[in-house]
Amino acid sequence: MASISIRNLVKRYGNFTVIPDLNLEIADHEFVVFVGPSGCGKSTLLRIIAGLEPISSGDLYIGDKRVNGVQAAQRDIAMVFQDYALYPHMKVYDNMSFALELRGVPKAEIDARVKRAAALLHIEPYLDRKPKELSGGQRQRVAMGRAIVRNPKAFLFDEPLSNLDAKLRGQVRAEIKALSQELKTTMVFVTHDQIEAMTMADRIVVLQSGTIQQYDTPETVYERPANQFVAGFIGSPAMNFFPVEWRQERAVLSQGGTAVALDGDAASRLRQAGNAVLGIRPEHFALAADADGIAINVRLVEPLGSDTLIHFDLAGVSAIARVDPSLRPKVGDRISLRPQPGKTHLFDAANGQVLR
């Protein structure tokens, strides 16, 4: 078990800079999720921690030890790969015992540790099988088993759920979270799926173009996004953005001039800025009386059972609101919506940073 510290890290491939300058502190026992769109550098960062990619400049510490030039084999970390990367010619038992055997662990202890991990992951019946005889979910468990038998300083997960079907993904997600609470080891998990990030992480690192956009708890990242990118990336369906202005002592949508009811705090920030981008999550729209709401025409309805999504166009923006299913809206209905007080976000129109 160990902390991970990344200081002024730069990663280049030839002339192409993937990570320009990154600083990150992951505490001991912490479950941190790297999330971001494809090509944001999250997998590269994980592979750098694993020792599978060299660093162009900067420092990487695992525990107190600087590991810049240390081979992956000597870092004492375990990794679960996206395609599981099981050894096809070895039985499940041998896949799990291989790393221990390399470290000269006595046979009896290897056996005990493999069986304990197999029990934890419910894969005891498959110990004598080869990976090709297993289903995707079982292989995924074996890959995790291979990692946990080792008691490493840290676990690294590189999108390990992306090859599973939706039902299994939810199940394994819960299992990994339970496992992290049981093992109490530092865990770094890479995903492009923000639901995985929100449900599993102690803290989330939101990455874009190799730069950390926000590093905080899931609740904070969701409730107080640092910028428009984070606000748009975290949350599903994504946050709606409308350009707004302060005109004649009130907030209006820049296109069309429709008045928007903002609470006092948001209104004063907009007054100060003059114009901004207003962010409202679909779930933060409320039905309003005609007088103080924004009238919209329902363009599309998506009933999800627990709630219903309404698609509509407003001020040149295609937007979504999440409403109570009992409302039973229909395409073409004209309804009135307003943002819930205290649930709006204002971002600088020029640089996307949140206006506080």
Partner 1 sequence: MTDAATTDHWIRRLNLVQLVLAGVLIMAPTVWMVLSSFKPSFEVTAYPPTLIFTPTLDNYVELTKTTPFLSYALNSLIVTVGSTALGLLFGIPAAFAVSWTRISWPAILTLAARMAPGTLFLLPWYVMFRQVGMIGSYTALILSHAVITLPIVIWVLLPSFDGIPRSVFEAAQVDGCSVTRILWRIALPLVASGVAVSAILAFVFSWNYFLFALVLSNGDTKTLIAAAFNFIGEGSTQWGALMAAATLIALPPLVLAALVQRWLVSGLTLGAVKG
| Residue 103 binds partner 1 (CB under 8 A) | yes
Nearer to partner 1, 63 or 352 (CB): 63
Under rule CB under 8 A, residue 50 binds partner 1: yes
Q: Is residue 35 at the binding interface for partner 1, with CB under 8 A as the rule?
A: no
219 belongs to the binding site for partner 1 (CB under 8 A): no
Report if residue 309 touches partner 1, rule: CB under 8 A. no
Q: Does 87 bind partner 1 (CB under 8 A)?
A: yes
Query: From the CB of 72, what's the least distance to partner 1, in Å?
Result: 4
Q: Taking CB under 8 A as the rule, does residue 107 contact partner 1? A: no
Asked whether position 99 contacts partner 1 by CB under 8 A, the answer is yes
Nearer residue to partner 1 within complex by CB, 144 or 321? 144
Q: Does residue 98 belong to the site contacting partner 1 (CB under 8 A)?
A: yes
Binding segment (CB under 8 A) for partner 1, from list 72-80, 199-207, 232-240, 338-346? 72-80
The 3-class secondary structure across 169-236, one letter per residue, is HHHHHHHHHHHHHHHCCEEEEEECCHHHHHHHCCEEEEEECCEEEEEECHHHHHHCCCEHHHHHHCCC
- Looking only at residues 135 through 194 of this chain, which bind partner 1 when binding is defined by CB under 8 A? 146
Is residue 73 near partner 1 by the rule CB under 8 A?
yes
Instruction: Kindly indicate which of the ranges 99-107, 199-207, 210-218, 248-256 contains the residues binding partner 1, using the contact rule CB under 8 A.
Output: 99-107
Comparison of 51 and 329: residue with beta carbon closer to partner 1: 51
Q: Least distance to partner 1 from the beta carbon of 143, Å? A: 8
Position 132 contacts partner 1 (CB under 8 A): yes
Residue whose CB is less far from partner 1, 73 or 291 = 73
> Which of 10, 70, 85, 298 contacts partner 1 by CB under 8 A?
85
* Residue ranges in contact with partner 1 by CB under 8 A: 50-52, 71-75, 77-79, 81-83, 85-89, 98-99, 102-103, 132, 146
